[in-house]
Each structure stands twice: as C-alpha cells, then as structure tokens.
Amino acid sequence: MSVKWVPLLLVIQLSCYFSSGRCGKVLVWPTEYSHWINIKTILDELIQRGHEVTVLTSAASVLINPNMASAIKFEVYPTSFNKEEIEISFMSWINEWTRKSKESPWKHFPEIQKIFWEYSDYLERLCKDVVYNKKLMMKLQESRFDVILADAVGPCGKPTTLSETMGKAEIWLIRTYWDFDFPRPFLPHFDFVGGLHCKPARPLPKEMEEFVQSSGKHGIVVFTLGSMVRNITEEKARMIASALAQIPQKVLWRFDGKKPDTLGSNTRLYKWLPQNDLLGHPKTKAFITHGGTNGIYEAIYHGIPLVGIPLFADQPDNIAHMKTKGAAVSLNIDTMTSTDLLNALKTVINDPFYKENAMRLSAIHHDQPVKPLDRAVFWIEFIMRHKGAKHLRPASHDLTWYQYYSLDVIGFLLACVAIVTFVIIKCCLFSYKKLFKRGKKKKRE
C-alpha cells in the first residue's frame, strides 16, 4: 500500500469528554497551499454543525489568513521564519523537484531526498516553535480539545517515526475515491473522501461570462498549472500560446508571467480563475491541468476530459490514473511541442471516447450513499462521541518491526528446523558408527 503525500488527513484522538448531541472542540494543524483548501472545507462544515474550531498556524503562514472574517478561531504562534522565507523555500523545492522528476529515478533520488530532508527540517523548526512555547502549550492543554485534525504531509511528530504517527491515528481520511483510484485492500480505519471540496458551479463574473458566451458552439478550454506554479519560461509560454491560438475554442489561461507574443485573440490571461465554476460551466470542453488532486476531482465532479501536463509529486501518478480511465491525454512539459499540445486538445475535445469516460467517472462519483464531505465530518464527530475508534485500529500498530514481519516466528521455526536437523544428523552418525563397528567386528571373527 502506497500512501500519497498529498492526499491524506489524519485524526488523532485526545482524552476528553464528548457526549452525543454536544458540540465538540476541534484543534487543527494544517499545511499550506492546496491542502488547506480541503481542510478549510471540512472546518466550515464543522462550524455549520455547531462545533468550535481552532486553527493552529504560524505568524508566517503563506495562505492561511487569521485576520479574515470567519467563525474559525486562529491561534497564531510566533516563528523563527518569515512569510517571504517560507514562500521562497517552497518555490525552490517545487522548482527543483519539477526539474529532477524528469530524470531517471536512480539519478535524481539523492536530490529529491535532500528536498525531503530540508522540508523535514522546516517542519521540525515549526514544531519547536510550538512545543517550546510554554504559554501556548499551557493554553492548548487548558482548552481541552476533543480531537486534533492534522494533515499527514506535515504532522508535528519529530522524533516520532511515520509508523508511530500512523499508529496514533484513529481515522485516516484519504483525498481520493474509487472513481479515480484502483481497487486494493484497506483497513477499516481508512475512508476515501475524494472530492469533498467539490460543489455545483456558481455564476461567473460578468466580464468572464461574456467572454465564455462569445465562444458560441465551440465552447471553452480552461488552463491552469495550479497555485504553486506561478510562471514558466518565456519560450515555453510562446509555444503553448501558439498551440492555443490554433483551436476554435476560447481559452481562459491562469498565467502570471510576461504576455507571450504568440498569444491568440481567442485566449485571455488571468492571475486567478474560479476553477470549479468554469469546469462546471456547460460550455467547457476540456481542462489543461498539472494534475493536482483538487483539480482532478473538480474535473471528475463536472465530467470534463483532461490534457495533463504533470510537474512533480503525485501529479504524474494522478494523470496516469486518469489516462488509464480513458479520461485524459498526458504530455511532458519538457518535450512537448506546439503540435503535441494542439493534437492533444483536438483529441480530448473531438473524440467522444474521452467525454464519455469523464461523464462515467462523474456518474460514479455522484452515486454515493453519503457525500464525501458528510462522511469526513461523520468520522470526526464519531471520534469525539466515542473518544476514539480503537475497535477499528489494527493490532499491528502495537507490534515491533520484527514482530510485524514475523521475523520472531521465522527465527523460531528456523531454530526448530536446525535443532531437528541436528538431532537427525547426530542420530544418523551414531547409527552409522554402531553399524560400522559391528561390521568390522564380524569381519574380524
């Protein structure tokens, strides 16, 4: 079983009292960027149900704004970082990871490992900023929270191992579902809540709606490489713009770089796009995406075929899933040409195979007895009501590594075999000596 970086939420039970019908107190340890979108969706729903939600965040958080008008309470702690430093570090890691992901795994493994170690050190410093803050820790303890909701990408757990952290989790909420994932066995304290942030499309801004409507029967293409990739090289941008200019559809492209001189009249650049609302628009024909989990699920929710340009992390795997499901065409950003992108767009737009498969995945996603968001909230409330979910927790978490792999059993069996073999050999040698001596004695007689 592989556990993805991106797509996990972890619920750790705290000792508390929570009875049925009473609202609980939730402490949240989030991470940055797209991961915050999923957690924020859950938090809004918890608040709607009357729970008290407190988000523990650093004063240097890139995306989490404690000053925004919200029913969420923010506990902001001072940190040795500043916002600009964190943002630069994240961009540096992403750029390096994106570059190395195109090379042979054996060749780039040391560099990727270095990125992980640097990220681990960053998390450790944040953890120390919290744990060594006695005033903050005292306040958190006195608050007597019922449950902690944490993103497993960055739990505060050093020097605790990942295995030990997993062992403490009451429930794992996975950011995918079987419309996207492949069947495989899982333990009962895992639940798949992919697409919990998806919702019906809302009306677009007036100017954007007018541009979309101007596409006529051809429709539109939505293009974004996510919030963490702000720019691409000018040469690459010109190549992409050249391909987009050759299609009859209107294109809405999230791009924050220099305007390419090959940009067609059918393409408009935006620093931000209402992605879910555009994907849910009836005129949307295709979605060009880097393959982030949130975007993938918004496309599944609305039944939109993809042109995938994966960059790093779980994105190549996500696009591979969608390609296997028959709902996407994949391109390599380093080797693709203007013709490749043009042909990929023509394929997913004009070949009904891709739209039909996207709609099939959408139908599977919508045909669930309980909505993903409701399931996620149910399990959080379940943990609070029952003070945990020990009955779902596998005993393997309490085993040592050698017990987990049955090395003690294997060792015992090997010892038994060795002893039996030794005894048999000794018996054979003893019998042979007795018979040999008796044979010699008879010859002498």
Check pLDDT > 60 for residue 405. yes
Q: Per-residue pLDDT for 303 more than 90?
A: yes
What is this structure's pTM?
Answer: 0.83
Q: What is the pLDDT of residues 337-356, one digit of tens each?
A: 999 999 999 999 999 999 99
Residue type, 321: H
pLDDT digits over 3-45, tens only? 443 344 555 444 344 444 468 899 998 887 778 888 999 999 9
Give per-residue pLDDT as tens, 157-191. 555 665 676 677 889 999 999 999 999 998 899 99
**According to the model, what pLDDT value does residue 244 have?**
97
The single-letter code of the amino acid at 209 is E
* pLDDT for residue 3: 42
Burial of 185 (0-12, 13-18, 19+ CB in 10 A): exposed
pLDDT at 156: 66
Average per-residue pLDDT for the chain: 86
Place of tokens 């000794």: 426
For 1, 8, 118, 211, the CA distances from 391, given in Å and listed in that order, are 21, 21, 37, 55
Question: Mean pLDDT throughout 311-319?
Answer: 88
Long-range contacts formed by 96-100: CB under 8 A, 24+ apart = 97/312, 97/313, 98/229, 98/311, 98/312
Quick check: 384 pLDDT over 80? Answer: yes
Determine the pLDDT at residue 240. 95
**pLDDT for the residue 86:** 72
Asked whether 205 and 308 are in contact (CB, 8 A), the reply is: no
Contacting residues for 181 by C-beta, under 8 A, at least 6 apart: 192, 194, 321
The predicted pLDDT at position 19 comes to 43
pLDDT given for residue 438 in this prediction: 66
How buried is 211 (Cβ within 10 angstroms: 0-12 exposed, 13-18 middle, 19+ buried)?
middle
Residue type, 399: L
φ, ψ for residue 233 (rounded to 5)?
A: -65, 155
Nearest to 27 by CA among 130, 188, 144: 144
Give the pLDDT of residue 130.
87
**Span 192-196, average pLDDT:** 94
Q: Which two tokens stand for residue 324?
A: 């296997």
pLDDT of residue 155: 58
Whole-angstrom distance, CA of residue 107 vs CA of residue 315:
20
Mean pLDDT over residues 233-246, rounded? 94
Give per-residue pLDDT as tens, 407-417.
999 999 999 99
pLDDT of residue 161: 65
User: In this structure, what token pair is assigned to residue 203?
Assistant: 């009306």
Instruction: Examine the pLDDT at 284 and tell me if it is beyond 50.
Output: yes
The pLDDT value given to residue 18: 44
